[in-house]
Amino acid sequence: MHFFTYKGNKFYAEGVSIEKIVKEVGTPCYIYSHKTLIRHYHAFDEAFASVPHLICYSVKANSNIAILKTFINEGGGVDIVSGGELYRALKAGVNPKKVVYSGVGKRADEIEYALKTGILMFNVESPEELRAIDRIAKRLKKKAGIAIRVNPDVDPKTHPYISTGLKKNKFGIETSRAIQEYVYAKNNLKNVIPIGVDCHIGSQITQISPFADALKKTKQIISTLRNEGIDIKYLDMGGGLGITYKDEDAPHPSKYGKAVIDATKGLNITLIFEPGRIMVGNAGILVTKVLYTKQGTEKNFVIVDAAMNDLARPSLYGSYHAIKPVTHPTPPFNKGGGEIIADVVGPVCESGDFFAKDRPLPAFKSGELMALMSAGAYGFSMSSNYNSRPRACEVMVKGNKFSIIRERESYKDLIKGEKRLK
């Protein structure tokens, strides 16, 4: 559910026409709907209203500080995977006691930064990392709350690049070894305090069963640990709930909530969630301008001014983003096409630089605007300067107003910190 709609033949974000925004900020630009962000946060929060829980938004999905602030204002915390994300979250005003820190490769300086900040817990991904955290905490005379990220070996049935809970994946520690590590920590590591169990199995998951399978395993671990006298207070379920990009039948958070609540009844625990995509994915679009159209011998091409450096998902995962014309001659136009079959491609010098392949589309002409839908998650946050393209600006719409929440980069920004030498 989102608040991007046609009014007549003009496409709007909430109460503001996309054309009007583009007139002021240019293209390509990311546009987010504040009302959609709030709605998504509350849909998730309400799904767990009957049990103690904490929503730690996964910063990497979209790390703009205005987006972070939106969720923080609603009472949310964050899930971070780097010192840079911690910095952003603190700038946005997060309560350190609502920060969890995931990732397989935390550096010593990042661990130190997080300890000094006083975060809730580290989601530990290897035995060596566990010892490193203990060592650094000891030097700083701090205690580190930890959860071990267990790898439950369940198949999330999603794209292989975003599956993380299989034995062959680099993430987490397998179950029996994880239990040994908890016991080792309790007996030997005086500066880490095991307080949680963590499990994140992947992303864009559109079925409940993989979560249920993972939950079965983590519950067993929790009861084993409690029998060992380790006081587990938090069960971190990670993120991963999928969204509808095209025709996926993604479960509503309330369905996920019911399954999780039923399965954890009597466990007496605070649930932590790290949702990313489901919070921001459908709350953002990427607006781009058609530069040229061209008829090849085999294909039609619509060449636009956004590229894989702005939105990498199609190149990375072959993923689908719906395309809507910002203005269409036959209102109301919202079915997504039919007039031509074309590839939508960007200016970057790679054949992987595309947004759509063989897509039925309205007959876009040079100068017209198109919206790439569902671009709020892993869109701007994955963007780069490849081909020396300044990164797009980001805009937040709130009712009838809009604000630039990140300026378009300039050519000067492109060479910031570079030295020409002699």
Ligand X SMILES: *Cc1c(COP(=O)(O)O)cnc(C)c1O
- CB nearer to ligand X: give 125 or 181: 125
| Contact characters 244-283, ligand X, x per CB under 6 A | ------------------------------xxxxx-----
**Please, which residues have CB within 8 angstroms of residue 62's CB and are 6 or more apart in sequence?**
32, 276, 280, 284, 376, 377, 378, 379, 380, 381
Touching ligand X, residues 1-60 (CB under 6 A): 58, 60
Q: Is 335 exposed, middle or buried (0-12, 13-18, 19+ CB in 10 A)?
A: exposed
Concerning whether 29 is annotated as a catalytic residue, the answer is: no
Total residues belonging to the chain: 422
| Contact characters 305-344, ligand X, x per CB under 6 A | ----------------------------------------
Of the candidates 337, 321, 328, the one whose C-alpha atom is nearest the C-alpha of residue 373 is 321
H-run or E-run covering 83: helix 83-91
Contact flag: residue 152 with ligand X (CB under 6 A): no
Touching ligand X, residues 201-230 (CB under 6 A): 203
- CB nearer to ligand X: give 140 or 208: 208
Of the candidates 55, 47, 50, the one whose C-alpha atom is nearest the C-alpha of residue 251 is 47
Which of these is catalytic: 29, 199, 349, 393? 349
- Per the listing, tokens 């063989």 go with 358
Work out how close the CB of 243 gets to ligand X at its nearest, in angstroms, rounded to a whole number.
Answer: 9
Q: Select from 240, 284, 325, 379 the one that contacts ligand X (CB under 6 A).
A: 240
CA dihedral over 235, 237, 238, 239, signed as positive or negative = negative
Report whether 172 contacts 150 (CB < 8 A).
Answer: yes
| Contact characters 120-149, ligand X, x per CB under 6 A | ------------------------------
Contact flag: residue 106 with ligand X (CB under 6 A): no
Q: What is the distance between the alpha carbons of residues 108 and 144, in angstroms, rounded to a whole number? A: 14
Q: What is the distance between the alpha carbons of residues 154 and 214, in angstroms, rounded to a whole number? A: 6
- CB nearer to ligand X: give 211 or 355: 211
- CB nearer to ligand X: give 169 or 327: 169
State the catalytic residues. 349
Which residues contact ligand X by CB under 6 A? 58, 60-61, 79, 102, 200, 203, 238-241, 274-278, 377
